[in-house]
Amino acid sequence: MTASKKQMKLGAFLMPTGHHIAAWRHPEAAIDAGIDVDHYVRLAQSAEAAGFDMLFLEDAAGVREADAEIASQTSRSIGFEPLSLLAAIAARTSTIGLVATASTSYNEPYGLARTFATIDLLSGGRAGWNLVTSASEIEAANFGARGLRPHVDRYERATEFADVVQRLWNPNNRTAALDHKGEHFEVKAGLGLEPSPQGSPVMVQAGSSDVGRNLAARTADVVFVATQTFDSAKSFYDDLKARVSAAGRHPDAVKIMPGVSPVVAETRAEAQAKFDELQELIPDEVGIALLASYLSTDALKGLPLDGPLPELTATQGMQSRQALVVEQARRDNLSIREVARHFAGARGHWRLVGTAQDIVDELEHWFVGGAADGFNVMPAFFPGELDAFNALIIPELRRRGLFRTAYEGSTLRANLGLTNGAGA
């Protein structure tokens, strides 16, 4: 393949023991990784040494599974509050971007804007906010809500929330009165903070529904997305870039970065053996519970695992993820067990197993073919698969001229090729 003149952007998506649901059972995994700050710092420093644009931390304001036994077998419910963790990582890194998830459903715009602006200043202009609208009944119950807000209502609140935050981050409003009075929020004053060297934190969004795409087109600098085929990735990419243009922004103002979970080794056989080892560690009940959680359904209970995925009613939860899973199940004629085991590997994201040449061939195809501006890398287990990515895939990307050999600047916006934010 011919190398592109532009270079892809890479995020390192951190998870306590890894993105594979059974990563915590891997013999090289650290069981207490979720509450070991040194573990996260080591991963951050490794990603920075490799030249990654950013770290990415996701979050949920509650445990992941209602069943305590299932939750105890995933390790995903044990972990630090991400903004506090970013502050700790910021002190022990120098250039890599620092992106964390925070929900518009259970925060207020002023407090969130102030916290991210502070981390942005403390880190020298490296912070980013991943905007989400919480889609879990468990989270809702932790904040006095009587069930999950309807999808459209969550995005109406998110749209006003994002608007207020971006106005608070605007240098002209840092000390002046804001005087915002909207349907969901009233905010009087500015933040009382100077802008960071990048102007304002980078705005990241991960929703793929129609309303999520519209919000991203208006507000996002980076969009993360779950896609599994080149055609679906290309369709999303073209659609979102068109919406960005329609919103009066240049298409290059938004970087689209699909999630990818690679398992890489020197030979294809070694890579497949590593992946097979992880797959064998998935208990059926854990895989089914994870799948049901993301589909926001209890329709799988009692069904034969070797039978087909049933018809599902529309969800108020993660609508785009439900659509992705159903599409894959129908396309590949998968049983419930097969869908669950596949989903457990990367939660519906693109999965690649092979040599560095195999994997970079695929990444380059999506990148050069106009289906991605880069990728949010989701190692199956830590630190092993991040180390393998850095040792095998990064050199191959550089050999083809697809990835930087040194950081272009000292801020996240500079390295992403974005202009300074919020009017700075």
Q: For residue 328, what are the CA distances in angstroms to 4, 29, 299, 308?
A: 30, 30, 18, 12
Cα–Cα distance between 224 and 204 in angstroms, integer? 7
pLDDT band at 3 (very low <50, low <70, confident <90, very high): very low
Average pLDDT over residues 114-127: 97
Residue 330 is predicted with a pLDDT of 75
Average pLDDT over residues 104-115: 93
Average pLDDT over residues 84-104: 96
Residue 370 is predicted with a pLDDT of 97
Average pLDDT over residues 51-76: 73
Q: Is the pLDDT of residue 1 over 60?
A: no
Average pLDDT over residues 156-177: 88
pLDDT band at 75 (very low <50, low <70, confident <90, very high): low
* Helix, strand or coil, per DSSP, at residue 133: coil
Q: Is the pLDDT of residue 10 over 60?
A: yes
Q: Please, what is the average pLDDT of the chain?
A: 87
Q: Over the stretch 132-162, which tens digit does the pLDDT of each residue have?
A: 887 666 777 777 766 667 778 888 999 999 9
Average pLDDT over residues 15-31: 87
Average pLDDT over residues 351-378: 98
Residue 2 is predicted with a pLDDT of 42
Residue 148 is predicted with a pLDDT of 66
Q: Is the pLDDT of residue 163 over 90?
A: yes
Range with lowest mean pLDDT among 290-294, 339-343, 420-424 = 420-424
Residue 321 is predicted with a pLDDT of 64
pLDDT > 70: percent of the chain: 88
Considering only residues 23 and 99, tell me which one the structure prediction assigns the higher pLDDT.
99
Residue 225 is predicted with a pLDDT of 95
Residue 219 is predicted with a pLDDT of 94
- Tell me, letter by letter, the H, E, C secondary structure of the chain: CCCCCCCCEEEEEECCCCCCCCHHHCCCCCCCHHHCHHHHHHHHHHHHHHCCCEEEECCCCCCCCCCHHHHCCCCCCCCCCHHHHHHHHHCCCCCCEEEEEEECCCCCHHHHHHHHHHHHHHCCCCEEEEEECCCCHHHHHCCCCCCCCCHHHHHHHHHHHHHHHHHHHCHHHCCCCCCEECCCCEECCCCCCCCCCCCCCEEEECCCCHHHHHHHHHHCCEEEECCCCHHHHHHHHHHHHHHHHHCCCCHHHCEEEEEEEEEECCCHHHHHHHHHHHHCCCCHHHHHHHHHHHHCCCCCCCCCCCCECCCCCCCCCCHHHHHHHHHHHHHHCCEHHHHHHHHHHHCCCEEEEECHHHHHHHHHHHHHCCCCCEEEECCCCCCHHHHHHHHHHHHHHHHCCCCCCCCCCCCHHHHHCCCCCCCC
Cα–Cα distance between 416 and 408 in angstroms, integer? 9
Answer positive or negative: Cα dihedral of 282, 206, 9, 422. Answer: negative
Residue 28 is predicted with a pLDDT of 87
Most confident of 52-66, 161-175, 332-346: 161-175
Residue 62 is predicted with a pLDDT of 66
Answer positive or negative: Cα dihedral of 354, 348, 375, 198. Answer: negative
Residue 71 is predicted with a pLDDT of 59
- Copy the structure tokens of residue 314: 């529309």
239 φ, ψ (degrees, to nearest 5): -65, -45
Cα–Cα distance between 91 and 38 in angstroms, integer? 12
Average pLDDT over residues 336-350: 79
Q: Over the stretch 271-312, which tens digit does the pLDDT of each residue have?
A: 999 999 999 888 877 778 777 776 766 667 777 777 777 776
Average pLDDT over residues 372-389: 96
Considering only residues 301 and 388, tell me which one the structure prediction assigns the higher pLDDT.
388
Considering only residues 22 and 89, tell me which one the structure prediction assigns the higher pLDDT.
89
Q: Is the pLDDT of residue 4 over 60?
A: no
**Domains of the chain listed by start with CATH number:** 9-268+348-416 (3.20.20.30), 278-341 (no CATH)
Q: Is the pLDDT of residue 77 over 70?
A: no
Average pLDDT over residues 245-258: 97
Residue 202 is predicted with a pLDDT of 98
Residue 409 is predicted with a pLDDT of 97
Q: Over the stretch 184-228, which tens digit does the pLDDT of each residue have?
A: 999 998 898 999 999 999 999 987 889 889 999 999 999 999 998
- Taking the model in full, what pTM does it have? 0.88
Answer positive or negative: Cα dihedral of 110, 114, 120, 124. Answer: positive
Q: Is the pLDDT of residue 423 over 60?
A: no
